[in-house]
Amino acid sequence: MKTVIVIGGSKGIGKAIVAKLLEYCNVVNISRTTPEIAHPNLRHFSCDVTTDELPEIDQADGLVYCPGSINLKPISRLQIDDFKNDFEINVLGAVKVIQHFLPVLKNGKHPAIVLFSTVAAKLGMPFHASIAVAKSGVEGLVKSLGAELAPTLRINAIAPTVTDTELASKLLRNEKMVANITERHPLKKFLSPEEVASMAEFLLSENASSISGQIFEMDCGIVSFKI
């Protein structure tokens, strides 16, 4: 049975990923809060990956880094610390985790890493300067490490549009906002955590054995189409 490390698997997309993987994998969840789910295949370590020492894991075949941020402000209200904090959560946290677990991952069975970007790294959107900068760093990391770690280890990223999670709750806080966001997307929908989790599950699997260094836009058409 494969072992997958999930960083931030207690909430949102990470929680949905853990739920899918537990059906056939051992899952090591590392997050600040304990997952609500309990399962014989689940181990949990309470840890803030940006500040705490990471646990030692003796086996891993996959790694998913889920922590992210949605810090939407006009550039005039953004402080340098906002950029630093978003970069630390989204990029430096991922780098720290990859560096720490890379030796054990290299010994895994067909190992793979999945990171997360955002559609705002491709589509210019007002008030997204800080998060777009950070997630563009994630995309650069994926491209570089994809080349560096081939053929031993694959790495890809998912760039979702608005997803119905606690992190995005301010964007979906009433029926009018839900209707507006739905209408903005050519497919007239936004994402569920389970949809994104299915993509992560695929990218971890051997069905994606020929895919590395790629950014997968789950955009409901908002980046790809002009209708």
pLDDT at residue 177, rounded to an integer: 87
The predicted-structure confidence for 78-127, as pLDDT tens digits, reads as follows 999 999 999 999 999 999 999 999 999 999 999 999 999 999 999 999 99
* C-alpha to C-alpha distances, 206 to 111, 120, 219, nearest whole angstrom: 9, 29, 24
Q: List Cα–Cα distances, 118 to 14, 126, 215, in angstroms.
A: 15, 14, 10
Q: What is the pLDDT of residues 170-212, one digit of tens each?
A: 778 888 889 988 999 999 999 999 999 999 999 999 999 999 9
Give the whole-number percent of the chain exceeding pLDDT 90.
86
pLDDT digits (tens, 9 = 90+) for 68-80: 888 899 999 999 9
Sign of the dihedral through C-alpha 137, 143, 148, 153: positive
DSSP state at residue 163? B
* CA atoms of 5 and 31, how far apart (whole Å): 11
Q: Give the model's pLDDT for residue 201.
A: 98
What the chain holds in terms of domains, given with CATH numbers, is 3-163+192-218 (3.40.50.720)
Half-sphere exposure of 104 (CA within 13 A, CB side): 17
What pTM does this model have? 0.95
96-123 as b/e, with b when 16 or more CB fall inside 10 Å?
A: bbbebbbebbeebeebbbbbbbbbbbbb
Across 55-65, average pLDDT: 97
